[in-house]
Structure 1
Amino acid sequence: MRYTAFLATVAASALTAGVALAAEGDTLAQVKQRGVLNCGVNTGLVGFAAPDANGNWSGFDIAVCKAVAAAVLGDPSKVKYVPTTGQTRFTALTSGEVDLLARNSTWTFQRDTDLKMDFAGVNYYDGQGFMVRKDLGVSSATELDGATICIQTGTSTELNLADWFKANNMTYQPVNIDSNAEGEQQYMAGACDAYTTDASGLAATRAAFADPDNHVILPEIISKEPLAPATRHGDNNWTDIVRWTLYALISAEEYGVTSANLDELSRSSTNPDVQRMLGATDDYGAMLGLDKEWAKRAIAASGNYGEIFAANIGEQTPIGLPRGLNALWTQGGLMYAMPFR
């Protein structure tokens, strides 16, 4: 029994040391040693990050986890998905419980500086909105004076709501919730007149209702919500890996590189940026501590940015989101990747 207890103590110490190593700034080494990427995701938001009945995760944010795992470990399936709430997500990242936070989290001044996080790049430009039942007879958020509103605590959404109501000389009664699932539950039970969160989250939530047509997303967008994958501050190389994996997905769409023609273009493309990105020329992977085909594997995992968007949250899905601001810069949107040069 003493020997068993000793082994348990050693194992616990090793786990603690592993978390400490990740927190101290060599996440790449820790992920490679572990052989699995610990990816912090939403507790469940259809289209973005949600498990099916068998525990298999899918969604827009899940594709980021898979792309990073493919780039670093050579296999998009080598991911442990760690569900996090609005209140637990940043602690999970800073403590080393997760290597990457790939969930709907807004890049803000305080999170970047005070919470010591690095945001790798915006993967979805969003804004906060409101959803109400159609029979409430409300067509504008300006009609919500005195309303009860379901809101997730520990989020920028909570602060935006207070600011917007104050600016418009209106009052509201908050109904605090911890997760989107709880928000949906409370809203459907009639505990609040309106539910507020990112507009994309409202669309995803409404799509899961049995009667989506009976719920209205109001036209007002009251904030800027640039959603971005986050890493721990101080581990520059790991942040570079996540950033350039995201840029590879966006660049691939811009250059016409898809999951279907990836192998062909890696051999035949005459575009110097594509050649460098896919490892056909030069060795950009070595600058990150990876091999030459890291970006090729990242794109192969779920496709380019456009493919990921269309498959998970696009207009042909139940979520039904248009590209809007999330179109490429060449098509009137804000999606712009730094050059592979």
Structure 2
Amino acid sequence: MTWTSLKAGLCGLLLAGWLTGPDAAAQTAAGPTLSAVRARGTVNCGTSGASPGFGLFDGRGELRGIDADMCRAVAAAIFGDPAQARFVVMTTAQRIVSLQSGAIDMAAQSLTWTQTREANNGLEFTGTHFYDGQGFLVRKSLGLTAATGLADATICVPAGGRAEINAAEWARAHRIRFTALVFERTDDIVSSYESGRCDAISNDATLLAGLRSRLRAPDEHVLLPDRISKEPLGAYVRKGDEQWLDIVKWTLHALINAEELGVTQANVEQMLASENPLVRRLLGVTGDHGRFMGLDNRWAYNVIRTMGNYGEIYERNFGAASQTPTPRGLNQLWTQGGLLYGAPIQ
């Protein structure tokens, strides 16, 4: 066979769809995590249940926050129903162990993307849905304008995460001494701070803004301008199940792309008739992008129909009318000066 005839044969196969057809024709079989989730009927997500804006139980016992909504979005992608997300309250250390063991399917509660968690703990980060940085909450009466004024202070920090390590490294770099009080539960941090056992709380700045709103006299406390770390926050899954990683990761990208493309919870039905190829692929009108992951091709449509796009989720949890109003800043779309960038669904 000559090269010319071989090339002609390959071109014919491509045109006939032989090399590309099977991927588009057959739905990918469910992997271990997706199979378990479907058999159980819920997506199990680890949460602290005590982080305003991220995951805090309201008066009706419903978990509200951006992390909670990301878990609900994954449930909507799989079942078409965000109510099939189940939240399991646990500490940061417990969430990691429970995820490693398979007791939960996602750890979605203010967990920072770090090299150790991916390279040493057997976890896989699914994408940043909130950019933050660690800061300090103090009483206005201290008269501080910078965190370096906390020399010899007692600082409350949460156990099991990076906050204690970040604070220690920052203090060492600035040759500052402080005493750390470490607590497993957020409620214990708040009560210890209010009782005067510690002079400051150090944690992710947005979390601190939410905690400030829970204090008896919020106006008597201030968040210092210092940011001592980078905190790209998002959900983790176990390593070893690439299909489940794809589902969680691409659900986030679908939410961001929906905002970029102007697809909202209110107009998603009308957008099914859009002639924009990007919108048509996103909503499953064309392509087999859901089937590639073992889902219905309308997976992203179901997410947006029930949860809205990323901007709507942000507004619900951090907008001006929320309990934790927070400017979007770095969490703006890349087209608006932020860092959020939806990878293409194509």
TM-score scaled by structure 1? 0.91
What is the identity, as a one-letter code, of the residue corresponding to 2:80?
G
User: C-alpha distance in 1, partners of 2:91/2:256?
Assistant: 27
Q: CA RMSD in A?
A: 1.1
Query: Does the CA-based 8 Å contact 1:130-1:195 persist in structure 2?
Result: yes
1:310 aligns with one of 295, 308, 315: 315
Q: CA offset at residue 209 of structure 1?
A: 2.2
- Aligned partner of 2:216 in structure 1 is 210
Q: CA offset at residue 185 of structure 1?
A: 1.2
Q: Can you list the C-alpha shifts for 1:92-133, whole angstroms capped at 9, x where unaligned?
A: 111111101111000000001100111110000000000001
Q: CA offset at residue 330 of structure 1?
A: 0.2
Q: CA offset at residue 233 of structure 1?
A: 0.6
Greater displacement, 232-241 / 25-34: 25-34
User: C-alpha distance in 2, partners of 1:313/1:41?
Assistant: 18
User: C-alpha distance in 2, partners of 1:154/1:172?
Assistant: 19
Q: Can you list the C-alpha shifts for 1:241-276, whole angstroms capped at 9, x where unaligned?
A: 000000011110010000000110012x12211101
What is the identity, as a one-letter code, of the residue corresponding to 2:275?
T
Number of corresponding residues: 316
- Aligned partner of 1:59 in structure 2 is 65
- Aligned partner of 1:263 in structure 2 is 269
1:285 aligns with 2:295: no
User: C-alpha distance in 2, partners of 1:208/1:297?
Assistant: 34
User: C-alpha distance in 2, partners of 1:271/1:29?
Assistant: 34
Query: Does the CA-based 8 Å contact 1:72-1:290 persist in structure 2?
Result: yes
Query: Does the CA-based 8 Å contact 2:164-2:180 persist in structure 1?
Result: no
Within 5 Å, give how 1:2-21 maps onto structure 2.
Answer: none
What is the identity, as a one-letter code, of the residue corresponding to 2:307?
S
User: C-alpha distance in 2, partners of 1:141/1:215?
Assistant: 14
- Aligned partner of 2:299 in structure 1 is 294
1:49 aligns with 2:61: no
User: C-alpha distance in 1, partners of 2:156/2:180?
Assistant: 6
Query: Does the CA-based 8 Å contact 1:148-1:192 persist in structure 2?
Result: yes
Q: CA offset at residue 26 of structure 1?
A: 1.1
Gaps of 5+ in 2: 1-30
Q: Can you list the C-alpha shifts for 1:214-265, whole angstroms capped at 9, x where unaligned?
A: 1000000000000011100111000000000000111100100000001100
Within 5 Å, give how 1:112-261 maps onto structure 2.
Answer: 112-261=118-267
User: C-alpha distance in 2, partners of 1:46/1:300?
Assistant: 25
Query: Does the CA-based 8 Å contact 2:265-2:308 persist in structure 1?
Result: yes
- Aligned partner of 2:115 in structure 1 is 109
Q: CA offset at residue 39 of structure 1?
A: 1.0
- Aligned partner of 1:93 in structure 2 is 99
What is the identity, as a one-letter code, of the residue corresponding to 1:93?
L
User: C-alpha distance in 1, partners of 2:312/2:181?
Assistant: 37
Q: CA offset at residue 158 of structure 1?
A: 1.1
User: C-alpha distance in 2, partners of 1:301/1:68?
Assistant: 11
Query: Does the CA-based 8 Å contact 2:49-2:63 persist in structure 1?
Result: no
User: C-alpha distance in 2, partners of 1:330/1:81?
Assistant: 34
2:75 aligns with one of 69, 73, 81: 69
What is the identity, as a one-letter code, of the residue corresponding to 1:288?
M
Query: Does the CA-based 8 Å contact 1:43-1:85 persist in structure 2?
Result: no
Q: CA offset at residue 199 of structure 1?
A: 0.3
- Aligned partner of 1:20 in structure 2 is none
Query: Does the CA-based 8 Å contact 2:118-2:125 persist in structure 1?
Result: yes
1:39 aligns with one of 34, 45, 49: 45
- Aligned partner of 2:7 in structure 1 is none
Runs of 4+ in 1 over 2 A off after TM superposition: 314-318
1:275 aligns with one of 272, 280, 284: 280
SS in 1 for 2:197: coil
Q: CA offset at residue 317 of structure 1?
A: 2.2
- Aligned partner of 1:324 in structure 2 is 329
User: C-alpha distance in 2, partners of 1:315/1:122?
Assistant: 22
Query: Does the CA-based 8 Å contact 2:194-2:215 persist in structure 1?
Result: no
- The alignment-based identity, stated in percent, is 45
Q: Can you list the C-alpha shifts for 1:308-327, whole angstroms capped at 9, x where unaligned?
A: 10111123323121010000
Q: CA offset at residue 52 of structure 1?
A: 2.1
SS in 1 for 2:98: helix
User: C-alpha distance in 2, partners of 1:47/1:149?
Assistant: 23
Q: CA offset at residue 210 of structure 1?
A: 3.1
